[in-house]
């Protein structure tokens, strides 16, 4: 999947934001939990967590539950420094018999050892001053409750504790996934495992592994070894490794759904088996990014022989009932150019390429059915001939969901959850699979199984991938787990910062990858002041959005090092968000305070200082930071514009007539993306200069009219 | 090995330091290379490294060399952001035929695929403005030259380049090792691999894996599976994994020498086979630290049956001709208490326990010989009956080396290289296996094969272990590779800071583990200012040395979380070293400058500020930092004492008679180790207060007399 419509139009964004801001400040939950539980009641009091903390495990013996409990206790030990009672054999001591336990875990049926779609994931958690009790009808529910406990642990000057709460929780959608593309850039075992740990923490339950692509075939086939041997550069999961991943996921209540993308996206398939393509070979692994021609030939019986053998092998390897067959973005070039294929379409009354694709899917469906598997594929597989029971994975938009469910197909939503495109968390957060006022019928709504965040891997390596997935995916996890009404953006961001710490604790590196990456970028000659300025600067940057990076780096391919400035910039800059909030609060305030304006001015001065340090230092001396020079200049320029505005605002003096237009033009210039990054802190300055230009009118207008006037003068949507 | 005499007496330390300081400022090499080459000549000019950088590989085709070259090129791409020419098949393009190459690599014989002791590791490297040429008689020499190239790459404002040099290099000792104890705390594959990469970068060539201990049996035995199944908590290397480690090491020119510690340190052996111990079982895996009783029974024929089977199995697994059998620290308790064993000693005229141990070693030697292996063991195996050809691994001191070589045994030195004891790098660096003026004869000197840094694992986890090994081990690597005369301590420290960056680039985490660890310690409530103060504070701390940590944490064992303040403190604090140098320079200066005193005063004020932030913040609010309160107070106290001293020195006023003693007492108090950490920055303040107290005498004394006077007044050895 490579093309993508922005998930929300600017107009819709503004609307949704207005809704979000209307409830701002009214925190729906006092807790930090993410995803927010279906029901949470807080009470005064706390349960102290001390070295004597003992757990009682009731209900049927379930290794998955005990293992998860032990992992949790170990995590808590590492966080708190407490050592809980251990047995000489190495595990944790459990409360035996009627011994008093600080935590009682009581799960009903053990449930299936490998998680399945739609299983009961509910749990209740009662914490009082004397005891915490976790109840769940299934092991999986118990795992979800343990994830809540991990987030619930708090500290203050008096020590560690669980706050008194009463939680009754269950998910809104049964399919809550993260897709990881391990093809375009290989992602080894360690990446997958730490991301599974992160998923478990935020109650995601489907790992969708995109295993085949033009740029790599990443799973061992014992029946057709040329697939992985010639299609992978040696970077693939052995079947033993995949079993290890599946077990690791199952232990955390997570399904693994494999994707084998056919008939398009198939270059790596046909490197070893060129005779299966729709045009003559030979083929080599694709190194560039985009949509490519190679596609399997649906008229070739050998294709079905290979698919029967291969999918049979995979059906035995992957326990999940669903196998994803991709099906997206066949550009038709090879089919159109092949007279034999076009003749086949005519002879079999298949009408067109879409008909041929549907025919192919019907054959693949039959193969999967033979092996007891159900088919899931991207939007493009939707066709009148698509066999019932298939699932549509929607990447192209809400229309896809409507069309699929209208025909009775279950769907999973990824449109709006393309985390590789570097949009801010709030956009994904407010993207509801079944929003309030949805035009879908109740029956259609029931067919919406949930959604998946998609981590396409053109621009990520094992070093940077966590910073593109997390913490934003936790906001998507909340959207898919929590009630529809939980949609307070500021509160989401508050909790996202906390859960980001827990995700790091789980081994993810979205924060910690940065320091060494910046040291490498700055080079050996950098001083501590240089590095401090670089960190402050990079925290203000965001990678360009959507598919712009390819325009900035047109020659980039699979070999290009991803260790540059843009790889250190992270989506959804927190300091930029904070500055925007600061500026908006001031310009829209009923009675703006002088000291708040002063804080804004100080922030601008600090940026100026950062720009000066870098402009005279690393952007000259460090070869890798020379491309940052215009960005550093832009930050200095933006600071200067902002300074003029704050000075005017502080003095009450109205500027000359041309001033506003001139400043907006300077900001336009400064806001241009360069080196594949952009400076989101520049946007809120438009409001500030508008406020300075119009300040004489402020007293004369109502709050609403003033706001409207400013937005028009500044020519910005009211982005947070 | 748990007990340890400090490798250098204070007197010897002072002596060596005096020598080191005598050559300070006379940098032996202008380059950053570590280890310094045997011969390096620099020239003006540079070879630019650009995207067109092409390499020609001459000599016999050798996958090890090409793989190492490709790894190097990938590292350089990641560091520089350049993309070198790739082939469609995925590798790097090599210069074909007579095409001009920026780098020519010409290695002679491929040499053995698995490295062996004493093989030729020499190489030459000539870099001119047009070309770099690496010549080596063997592949291993080529690998060493590539490590040099990796360190040679430089950058300035004009771009990336190799400076023009002429290097002729070979190692001083053939055995340059790092021991990693994977038993006391399990260290998984990823830790081993990244440390192998670090070793290769600094030309270490022996990974000594300490695989069995009281606290864990860490290698799969297919013949005696109860060894690893019952002795490891499931944490052990499978034989497949070990083969992977051996291949990974061999690809980097590194031997893997396994250690199976017998007959003592044997608890984990006898968990599964209690009948082999010298006292009745049952046994459980030891969780505590220290020297323990369980020891194999040398009078039991079953012991030799198991050892024959097991060592035969290991001999087939490990290609290296040496197998380490430990042999240290049998406390004799079980042997003394067992009448049958004592009777056996008498009946076989073995004299005493030492005789029984020697008898045991003779039997083990015979088993190893049968499998074509040579025996190496710790000091304690030295005995008149020890078979010739065995190697003594000396952990107890220079006497061990003398005694062993006198009897014709080859030796490897680890005394003085106990990196787990948190001594500063300079101590290890100046610890020469064959120092100038060594009393050993020439023949004896030839028997000194080299040395090994020892990373015992009572107090390290995969998270922290790199910070205990690196970068100090690079100084040991230089001691073992470079000429004896290379011993300029300040220049070593300058280069150590650079090589530390390269080690991080190789995947080590001695620097990057800290930020997340401190975030965890500070907790969710910490502000940016809190975290900044904490980082500044922790950078001033060092973990206590030698075996003191056990006294600070007497209840600690294998289950204790190692995520505390002491685990964030790192040996050999760089800021503390810098401050000591600053103070020494000022107090001993012929004409001390007022502005240098002012810099010292500012540093003290900054510490005071740090102490204030932490004293009012995290040491109160964060449960894990409450133990830091007295240390923070100590830093504030030290700053206050220093402030008084700098004020007196600035004003020229001589304090009252009791002032010096009172200040030294305050510093004594502040310098006390707490929470298993100490504040090395306090020591140099003793000199400062002495200088303040005695300032009226400064003009009246010669430089030497003044220095001597100050050292006596301050009651400190002249530590750097």
The pLDDT value given to residue A5: 37
What is the structure's pLDDT at A719?
52
The answer, yes or no, to whether residue A85 has pLDDT greater than 50, is yes
A624 reaches B (C-beta below 8 A): yes
B173 with B448: CB under 8 angstroms?
yes
How do A159-169 and A154-156 pair as beta strands? antiparallel
A21 pLDDT tier (thresholds 50, 70, 90): very low
Please report, rounded to a whole number, the percentage of residues in chain B having pLDDT higher than 90. 91
Triad B686, B692, B695: Cα angle to 5°: 130
Q: Which of B180, B197, B327, B185 shows the shortest CA–CA distance to B257?
A: B180
Chain B CB contacts of A82 under 8 Å are: 561
Q: What integer is the mean pLDDT of B551-566?
A: 97
Indicate yes or no: CB of B511 within 8 angstroms of CB of A519.
yes
Query: Which residue's entry shows tokens 């949704």?
Result: A16
Closest chain B residue by Cα to residue A498: B524
Contact criterion met (CB < 8 Å) for A523 and B233 = no
Condensed to tens digits (0 to 9), the pLDDT of residues B206-221 reads 999 999 999 999 999 9
Q: Do B160 and A81 touch (CB under 8 A)?
A: no
The yes-or-no verdict on residue A3 having pLDDT over 50 is no
Look at residue A266 and tell me whether its pLDDT is greater than 90. Answer: yes
Q: 3-class secondary structure for B242-258?
A: HHHHHHHHHHCCCEEEE
| Spatial distance between the Cα atoms of B301 and B307, rounded to a whole number of angstroms | 10
Return the axis-axis angle of helices B139-152 and B189-201, rounded to nearest 10°: 80
DSSP code string of B98-150: T---SEEEEEEE---SS--TT----EEEEE-SS-EEEEEEEHHHHHHHHHHHH
Query: A510 to chain B: nearest residue by CA?
Result: B516
- Show residues of chain B in contact with A90, CB under 8 Å: 233, 285
Size of interface A-B (CB pairs under 8 A): 111
Q: How far is CA B354 from the centre of its chain?
A: 31
Chain-chain contact of A561 with B82 (C-beta, under 8 angstroms): yes
**pLDDT-derived band at A288, boundaries 50, 70, 90:** very high
CA distance B475 to chain A (A): 19
Q: How far is CA B127 from CA B46, B49, B149, B258, in A?
A: 8, 12, 10, 39
* Cis peptide leading into residue B263 (ω within 30°): yes
Mean pLDDT across B118-143: 97
Q: Is A97 left (phi over 0), alpha (psi -120 to 50) or beta?
A: left
The minimum CA-CA distance between A262 and chain B, rounded to whole Å, is 23
Say how far apart CA B671 and CA B691 lie, in whole Å. Answer: 19
Per-residue CA distances from A240 to A221, A222, A245, A247 (Å): 11, 12, 9, 11
Q: How confident is the model over A531-551, as pLDDT tens digits? A: 999 999 999 999 999 999 999
Ramachandran angles phi, psi of A510, nearest 5°: -60, -25
B313: closest CA of chain A, how far (Å): 25
CB < 8 Å to A157, chain B = 620-621, 623
Per-residue pLDDT at A667: 97
Inspect the interface and report whether the beta carbons of A90 and B519 lie closer than 8 Å.
no
Q: How far is B460 from chain A (nearest CA, A)?
A: 13
Q: How large is the average pLDDT for residues A418-446?
A: 97
Rounded average pLDDT over B600-604: 98
Please name which of A280, A283, A286, A185 lies closest in space to residue A563, comparing C-alpha atoms: A185
| Interface check B661 vs A, CB under 8 A | no
pLDDT at position A59 = 86
Contact list, B519 vs chain A (CB under 8 Å): 501, 504, 511
| Helices vs strands, H then E, count in chain A | 28, 19
Which residues of chain A from 540 to 559 reach within 8 Å of chain B, CB to CB? 559
pLDDT of residue A213: 98
- In a 13 Å sphere around the CA of A377, the CA atoms on its Cβ side amount to 30
Q: How many residues does chain B have?
A: 720
pLDDT value of residue B11: 41
Mean pLDDT of A85-104: 90
Determine the residue of chain A that is closest to B563 in CA distance: A78
Question: Residue B626 is encoded by which pair of tokens?
Answer: 């409450």
How many helices (H) and strands (E) chain B has is answered by 28, 19
- Residue A216 near residue A235 (C-beta atoms within 8 A): yes
Q: What is the pLDDT of residues B671-699, one digit of tens each?
A: 999 999 999 999 999 999 999 999 999 99
Contact A78/B at CB under 8 A = yes
Section B554-561 average pLDDT: 96
Contact between residue B256 and residue B321 where contact means Cβ atoms under 8 Å apart:
no
Alpha helices in A102-212 (DSSP H): 139-152, 189-201
Spell B189-210 as b/e; 16+ CB within 10 A means b. eebbbbbbbbbbbbbbbbbbbb
Measured between CB atoms, does B247 come within 8 Å of chain A?
Answer: no
Q: How far apart are CA B265 and CA B278, in angstroms?
A: 12
Could you tell me the two tokens for B117?
A: 């002791």
At B98, the pLDDT band (50, 70, 90 cuts) reads: confident
Q: Please, which residues 276-305 of chain A have a Cβ atom closer than 8 Å to chain B?
A: 284-285, 287
| Helical spans, DSSP H, in B381-471 | 398-406, 425-429, 442-446, 465-469
pLDDT > 80? residue B646: yes
Predicted confidence band of residue B716 (pLDDT cuts 50, 70, 90): confident
Query: pLDDT per residue over A390-428, tens digit each?
Result: 999 999 888 889 999 999 999 999 999 999 999 999 999
Q: Is the pLDDT of residue A16 over 60?
A: no
CA B664 to chain centre: 33
Determine the residue among A51, A70, A81 to mutate to test chain B binding: the one whose Cβ has the most chain B Cβ atoms within 10 Å: A81
B442 and B412 Cβ atoms separated by less than 8 Å = no
Query: Following DSSP, what letter does each residue of B508-540 receive, concatenated?
Result: --TTTTHHHHHHHHH-TT--HHHHHHHHHHHHT
Percent of chain A topping pLDDT 90: 91
Question: Quick one: which of A272, A156, A166, A172 has its CA closest to A225?
Answer: A272
- Supply the pLDDT for residue A9: 41
Compute φ and ψ for A188, nearest 5 degrees: -75, 175
Q: Supply the pLDDT for residue A24.
A: 37
A156 contacts in chain B (CB < 8 Å):
525, 621, 623
Interface touch A563/B81, C-beta < 8 Å: yes
Chain B interface includes A582 (CB < 8 A) = no
pLDDT at B21 over 60: no
Q: Which residues of A touch B82 (CB under 8 A)?
A: 561
Distance in angstroms (rounded) separating the CA atoms of residues A395 and A456 = 12
Q: Do A77 and B561 touch (CB under 8 A)?
A: yes
Per-residue confidence band for B17, with pLDDT thresholds at 50, 70 and 90: very low
Q: Tell me, what DSSP letter sits at residue A372?
A: T
CA distance A17 to chain B (A): 28
Q: Are B415 and B7 in contact (CB under 8 A)?
A: yes
What's the CA gap between A268 and A217, in Å, rounded?
6
pLDDT of A136 higher than 70: yes
Say what the ipTM of the complex is. 0.93
Copy the structure tokens of residue A398. 């809400």
A203, pLDDT greater than 70: yes
Mark yes or no for CB contact A622/B155 under 8 Å: yes
**Residue linked to tokens 């009470």:** A43
User: Phi/psi class of residue B660: alpha, beta or left (left: φ > 0; alpha: ψ in -120 to 50)?
Assistant: alpha
Could you tell me which residues are beta bridge partners of residue B81?
none
Q: Is A717 on the interface with B (CB under 8 A)?
A: no
Strand partners, A107: A136
**CA of A499: which chain B residue's CA is closest?**
B524
Joined together, the tokens standing for residue B714 give: 């301050």
Whether B160 has its CB under 8 Å from any CB of chain A: the answer is yes
Which run of H or of E encompasses A427? Answer: helix A425-429
Mean pLDDT of A18-40: 63
Instruction: Cite the active site residues of B.
Output: 329
List CB contacts (< 8 A) between A563 and chain B: 78-79, 81
Strand ranges for A25-94 from DSSP E:
39-48, 55-58
Q: How confident is the model at residue B90 (pLDDT cuts 50, 70, 90)?
A: confident
pLDDT of amino acid A718: 53
In this predicted structure, the answer to whether residue B418 has a pLDDT above a threshold of 70 is yes
Nearest CB to A233; choose among B80, B90, B505: B90
Does residue A423 contact residue A545 with C-beta atoms inside 8 Å? yes
Residue B26 predicted with pLDDT over 50: no
Helix, strand, or coil here: A276? Answer: helix
Q: What is the mean pLDDT of chain B?
A: 94
Among A341-345, B381-385, B409-413, B675-679, the minimum mean pLDDT is found in: B381-385
Which residues from chain A sit within 8 angstroms of residue B78, using beta carbons? Answer: 520, 561, 563
Q: Is the CB of residue A451 less than 8 Å from the CB of residue A412?
A: yes
Q: Where are the beta strands (DSSP E) in A20-143?
A: 39-48, 55-58, 103-109, 123-127, 132-138
Q: Residue A348: count other Cβ atoms within 10 Å of its Cβ.
A: 13
d(CA A431, CA A16): 9
- Section B651-678 average pLDDT: 96
pLDDT at A30: 58
């Amino acid at each position: 999947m490579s093309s993508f419509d922005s998930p929300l139009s600017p107009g819709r964004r503004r609307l949704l934001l207005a809704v979000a801001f209307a409830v701002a400040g009214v925190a729906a939950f006092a807790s930090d939990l993410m995803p927010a539980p279906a029901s949470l009641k807080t009470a005064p009091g706390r349960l102290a967590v001390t070295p004597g903390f003992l757990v009682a495990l009731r209900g049927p013996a379930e290794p998955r539950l005990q293992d998860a409990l032990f992992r949790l206790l170990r995590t808590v030990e590492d966080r708190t420094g407490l050592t809980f009672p251990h047995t000489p054999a190495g595990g944790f001591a459990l409360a035996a018999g009627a011994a008093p336990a600080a935590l009682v875990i009581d799960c009903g049926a053990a449930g299936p050892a490998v998680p399945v779609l739609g299983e009961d994931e509910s749990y209740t958690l009662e914490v009082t001053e004397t005891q915490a009790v976790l109840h769940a009808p299934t092991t999986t529910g118990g795992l979800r409750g343990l994830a809540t406990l991990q987030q619930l642990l708090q500290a203050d000057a008096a020590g560690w504790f669980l706050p008194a709460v009463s939680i009754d929780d269950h998910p809104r959608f049964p399919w809550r996934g993260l897709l990881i593309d391990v093809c375009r850039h290989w992602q080894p075992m360690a990446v997958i495992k730490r991301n599974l740990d992160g998923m478990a923490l935020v109650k995601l339950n489907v790992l969708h592994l995109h295993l085949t692509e033009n740029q790599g075939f990443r799973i061992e086939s014992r029946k057709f070894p040329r697939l992985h041997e010639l299609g992978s550069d040696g970077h693939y999961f052995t079947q033993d490794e995949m079993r290890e991943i599946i077990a690791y996921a199952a232990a955390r209540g997570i399904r693994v759904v494999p994707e084998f993308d056919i008939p398009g996206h198939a270059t790596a398939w046909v490197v070893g088996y060129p005779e299966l393509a729709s045009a003559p070979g030979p083929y080599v692994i694709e190194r560039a990014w985009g949509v490519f021609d190679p596609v399997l030939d649906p008229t070739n019986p050998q294709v079905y022989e290979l698919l029967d053998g291969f999918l049979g092998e995979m059906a035995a390897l992957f326990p999940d009932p669903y196998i994803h067959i991709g099906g997206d973005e066949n550009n038709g070039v090879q089919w159109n150019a092949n007279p034999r294929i076009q003749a086949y379409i005519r002879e079999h009354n298949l009408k067109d390429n879409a008909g041929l694709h549907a025919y192919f899917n019907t054959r693949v469906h039959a193969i999967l059915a033979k092996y007891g598997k159900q088919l899931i594929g991207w939007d493009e597989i939707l066709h009148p001939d698509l066999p019932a029971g298939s699932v549509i994975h929607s990447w192209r938009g809400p229309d896809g969901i409507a069309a699929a469910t209208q025909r009775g197909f279950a769907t999973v939503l990824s449109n709006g959850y393309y985390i590789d495109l570097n949009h801010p968390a709030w956009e994904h957060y407010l993207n509801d699979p079944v929003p309030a006022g949805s035009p879908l019928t109740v029956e259609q709504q029931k067919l919406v199984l949930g959604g998946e965040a998609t981590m396409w891997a053109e621009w990520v390596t094992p070093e940077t991938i966590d910073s593109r997935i997390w913490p934003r995916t936790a906001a998507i996890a909340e959207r898919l787990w929590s009630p529809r009404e939980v949609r307070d953006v500021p509160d989401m961001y508050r909790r996202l910062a906390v859960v980001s710490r827990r995700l790091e604790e789980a081994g993810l590196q979205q924060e910690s990858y940065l320091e060494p990456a910046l040291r490498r970028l700055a080079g050996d000659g950098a001083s501590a002041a240089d590095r401090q300025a670089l960190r402050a600067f990079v925290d203000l940057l965001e990678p360009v959005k959507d598919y712009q990076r390819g325009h900035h780096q047109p020659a980039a391919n699979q070999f290009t090092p991803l260790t540059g400035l843009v790889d250190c910039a992270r989506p959804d800059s927190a300091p930029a968000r904070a500055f925007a909030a600061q500026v908006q609060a001031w310009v829209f305030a009923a009675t703006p305070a002088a000291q708040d304006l002063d804080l804004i001015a100080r922030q601008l001065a600090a940026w100026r200082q950062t720009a000066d340090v870098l402009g005279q230092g690393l952007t000259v001396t460090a070869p890798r930071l020379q491309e940052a020079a215009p960005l550093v200049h832009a930050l200095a320029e933006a600071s200067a514009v902002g300074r003029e505005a704050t000075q005017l605002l502080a003095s009450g003096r109205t500027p000359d007539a041309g001033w506003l237009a001139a400043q907006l033009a300077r900001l336009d210039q400064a806001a241009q993306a360069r080196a594949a990054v952009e400076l989101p802190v520049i946007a809120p300055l438009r409001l500030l200069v508008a406020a300075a230009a119009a300040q004489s009118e402020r007293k004369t207008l109502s709050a609403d009219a003033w706001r409207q006037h400013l937005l028009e003068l500044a020519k910005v949507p009211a982005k947070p």
